[in-house]
Chains A and B, each alone.
Chain A
Amino acid sequence: MSELDMSQYLGIFLDEAGEQLQQLDEAIVKLEQTPDDLDLLNTIFRAAHTLKGSSASMGFNRLATLTHRMESVLDLLRQGKLAVSREIIDILLAGLDRLRALKDSIAAGNGDEGEVGDIVTRLEAVLAGQAAVTSRDKAPGRETLTLDDIEQNVIRAAQVKGFQAYEIRVQLEAGCQMKSARAYLVFNNLKEAGEVIKSVPHTQDLEAEKFNDTFTLAFVSREDADTLANIVKSISEIKDVTVRPIVLEEDQEAAAAVPAPGQDNGVPAARANGKAGEQRVSQTVRVDVQRLENLMNLVGELVIDRTRLAEVGNGLKARLGNEELLETLEEVSLHIGRITSDLQEEIMKARMFPIDQVFNRFPRMVRDLARKAGKEIDFIIEGRETELDRTVIEEIGDPLIHLLRNAIDHGIEAPEARLKAGKPRHGTVRLRAFHQENQIVITVEDDGAGMDPEKIKARAVAKGLISREAAARLGPREALDLIFLPGFSTSEKVTDVSGRGVGMDIVRNHIERINGTIDIRTTPGRGTCFTIKLPLTLAINRSLLVQVGGRVYAFPLANVVEIIAITPADVQRVHRQQVVVVRGRVLPLIYLGQALGLARAVPAGENYAVVIVGLAEKQIGFIVDNLIGEQEIVIKSLGNFIGKIPGIAGATIMGDGSVALILDVRSLVDNLGVEASRELAS
């Protein structure tokens, strides 16, 4: 193996290791709550086992050693020889953290650099403590037989031909002379009955007598276990032989689905059934996101060419009249159009992932935070299977972390305070995701103390964020929005948990950057709920296309409240600002060309088309030259060279191949504030 260049597998290894670590993390946290869940233990064990195998074959020895020790502890838990305790969970989690650090180090190109000795020692202490109790099974040299893929395949092939696979563990008499000769005899005698697939230790070590008194064989045979045991026992100086059928991993899963004979109470069996169903995964292939992106671009090209094909068809028709060939051309062009849109849809779907990818790292985080803050928290996750685009998944993690932190740190009260308030000791934090029309909704809800608008106002005034008079004018809803101001924090003391300089303003920026919105509902004493609404994908957006100065711009539809038509007579002036009254509400009005810095004044006309956009409570009307209509557009970045332009979120390619700019409504509006003040200053 060492001869091979393993580096080509590194990417896959890291991806998979990441997944296994994540799975372990989640499962171990869950295990703390349901220590008797054997299925869960089996899942954990398998993940650790796979990780051990892959890291060993990649030559990452520290990683392999540490996983191996963890696996041994897990094995004891699984066999019921060790009980799940908080201490053991702590050690396992600490081990996981260390594994993750090693993985990161590998990813950074430094190999598995890092100290693992201390954790290994702690794990070994657990194992040793156990060894004292069950010394019989912990005979030295006890090695579980692990089979790699090739060996498993050999066994499967043999099973098809009617052979059965056995694990044969042979223990020689203590002080046996010529151990290698005994081993040889065992091999030799067994040869009559079948074939040795693997031996632990390796045959070379057996020959060199580099083993204690035990060795284990994987053996395929048509004979039954007793016959094999008798063949081995007929050799002298053999103390003990155990022959057990080998059950391969997937067979184990199948077996788990059937209620085990020992599990006679119905409830756990039913649960086992459900679990087995969950574990069935569809066949997948890993694809680089960049590849999908390229595919998407190519499809975009197809769409454009199809339009041109149709144009050519029309042109020819005008010149040649109805020709049979032209009809065929028309048909083909239509067909290509349909295929193209199907292709586009399929590629979009290929970019969708369950949100579980983000959610699965939270249980561990919540556990750690709650312990640190001295709070007792039930963490409930719903809607893990909700799918959304990869790009959104990447962006949503940080805001959610912050909201969860807030819920734990500021939302949920300490256990004593909760009891005093007549609530259960345990607080509940609920994270939920679901689809609603063309959006995904994520809520973070706690049953904690809630927020008091008056306190928030007082805080904002104390921090000098708004004036006392301005605060007095705010309604309860608007007061809540104050927490999104930079520099606002309700926390009385900076704690290790939340005192990281990230405020709700950053959270909101993050969410708005991915075209989402965030909303708060709170009841003092009862709890708070943050609701985030996001587009399903960042790559495709429903937009309102408008024309200004002969060019096409796109408003993200999420920001558009309504479209109205007004006459110049409807435009009024308040404080040098143009406004329009819509159903009793005064809205600032600005020509889009001016907002973009392209033109100073509205072109004369009899009617203005006005797009009213909404940002939280604020609404602004943009006058445009022309409305084109609603369309799904593919968002593309302007690239590094041009960089971030205020007011512009990106670009898209229209059906005719031309480029239209997508408006970034928030920065457009923010920028207006700057320009307005400039105008006043001049």
Chain B
Amino acid sequence: MATETAAEIQLVVFQLAGETYGVDINHVQEIIRMQSITQIPRTPAFIEGVINLRGRIIPVIDLHKRFDLPRAELTNNTRIMVVELGQVTVGMIVDSVSEVLRLPAASIEPPPPIISGIDVAYLKGVGKWNERLIILLDLDRVLRESEQRQLQQEIAAGVDTR
């Protein structure tokens, strides 16, 4: 904490469908290997299921499905990134986690209106680092909205006659 200055943010950088993403390291609790996930019936497709994280039941979401990205093969590099946001702890499946890096806040720009891949609403900005672009995820949106969407689905399921 002491070394961190306001002008710098520390990111966990990961790969998703060939692009480089980053999330604030303060939200990342740990990164674990892929493991067997217990499916839960009647949940949105992007919720893969739940895992046992040292006695806690943690939901796991697949970011590919979350962002409507092309499906990826599970590899040896596939990881579950456990993030914590307020009361919610969620595992996110990513293709690989590459590094942790510090980025000057000044090198972060607001998301461009057109960006390949995911919905701009889930982005906090785009950071430039050594000629590479790192897409910064807005975890708040990614996690909170999935709750809302789920709620809507539930309501819809109650009314809908399929």
A residues neighboring B (CB under 8 Å): 297-298, 300-301, 551, 596-598, 636-643, 645-648, 651, 653, 657-661, 678, 681-682
9 more contacts with CB within 8 A, not counting A301-B54, A643-B147, A643-B151, are: A297-B54, A300-B55, A641-B143, A641-B147, A647-B41, A659-B49, A659-B50, A659-B51, A682-B161
Cβ distance A643 to chain B, nearest Cβ, rounded Å: 7
B38/A658 in contact, CB under 8 A: yes
The interface residues of chain B lying within 8 Å CB-to-CB of A660 are 38
Cβ distance A582 to chain B, nearest Cβ, rounded Å: 27
B38/A659 in contact, CB under 8 A: yes
A639/B43 in contact, CB under 8 A: no
Task: Closest A residue to B144 by CB, please name it.
Answer: A641
B residues neighboring A (CB under 8 Å): 36, 38-43, 47, 49-52, 54-59, 87-90, 143, 146-147, 150-151, 154, 161-162
Cβ distance B144 to chain A, nearest Cβ, rounded Å: 10
Q: How far apart sit A348 and B154, CA to CA, in the bound complex (Å)? A: 35
Q: How far apart sit A136 and B43, CA to CA, in the bound complex (Å)? A: 78
Q: Is the interface of A mostly helix, strand, loop or mixed?
A: mixed
Q: Given the known A-B contacts A641-B90, A651-B50, A657-B52, are A598 and B57 also in contact in the complex, defined by CB atoms under 8 Å?
A: no
Task: Closest B residue to A634 by CB, please name it.
Answer: B55
Rank and list the top 5 A-B pairs by shortest CB-CB distance, nearest first: A297-B55, A659-B38, A596-B41, A300-B55, A636-B57
A659/B161 in contact, CB under 8 A: no
B41/A638 in contact, CB under 8 A: no
Q: How far apart sit A639 and B36, CA to CA, in the bound complex (Å)? A: 19
Q: Given the known A-B contacts A640-B87, A678-B161, A678-B162, are A653 and B52 also in contact in the complex, defined by CB atoms under 8 Å?
A: yes
Q: How far apart sit A659 and B88, CA to CA, in the bound complex (Å)? A: 19
Q: How far apart sit A648 and B42, CA to CA, in the bound complex (Å)? A: 10
Which of A645, A657, A658 contacts B40, CB < 8 Å? A645
Cβ distance A681 to chain B, nearest Cβ, rounded Å: 6
B55/A638 in contact, CB under 8 A: no
Q: Given the known A-B contacts A641-B88, A678-B162, are A597 and B54 also in contact in the complex, defined by CB atoms under 8 Å?
A: no
For B57, B87, B162, the residue with the greatest tally of chain A CB atoms inside 10 Å of its CB is B57
B42/A647 in contact, CB under 8 A: yes
Q: Given the known A-B contacts A596-B41, A648-B40, A681-B161, are A642 and B59 also in contact in the complex, defined by CB atoms under 8 Å?
A: yes
The interface residues of chain A lying within 8 Å CB-to-CB of B88 are 639-641
Task: Closest A residue to B87 by CB, please name it.
Answer: A640
The interface residues of chain B lying within 8 Å CB-to-CB of A596 are 41-42
* Pairs A–B under 8 Å by Cβ, sample size 19: A297-B56, A300-B55, A638-B57, A638-B59, A640-B147, A641-B59, A641-B90, A642-B150, A643-B147, A647-B41, A648-B40, A648-B41, A651-B50, A653-B55, A657-B52, A658-B38, A659-B49, A659-B52, A660-B38
